Amino acid sequence: MTRAVVVNRDPAAAQAAAAILRRAGYEVELCAGPTADPCPVLRSLPCPLADRADILVYDAWAGGSSDGGRRLIADVRETYPDLPVVLTSVDQQLDWVEVEGTHRVTPIVGPLDEQRLLSAVEVALADQGMAV
């Protein structure tokens, strides 16, 4: 079974994403992100949740701000370069989102719904290991 980690500081949004993924057959773990708990990745340490994951689903604002999100995702991509990352809550304010290269993510622009999330997860898993 494919294991996803959903990282979102909004518990309701995290539960909604988790429910979508569980209905589709994914095993899901939740993390409130670094605004709620210390994040080992931000201290250049491995994350036990990410270590068990096949895919990460991060809210772009999990770091508390645009810059915090940028730093968090950059650190995640540096620590886990081959682990696919889906980035939710992407909007025009986020000029740091990369879809190619070492900090590559699969972004979801606009409101999160079942079709967008499952499509993005499938694309990200298919692209796993393709970041250059």
Give the model confidence (pLDDT) of 100-112 as tens digits: 988 999 999 988 9
pTM of the complete model: 0.92
Task: Give the whole-angstrom CA distance, residue 28 versus residue 35.
Answer: 20
Strand 85-90 and strand 27-31: pairing?
unpaired
38-55 mean pLDDT: 94
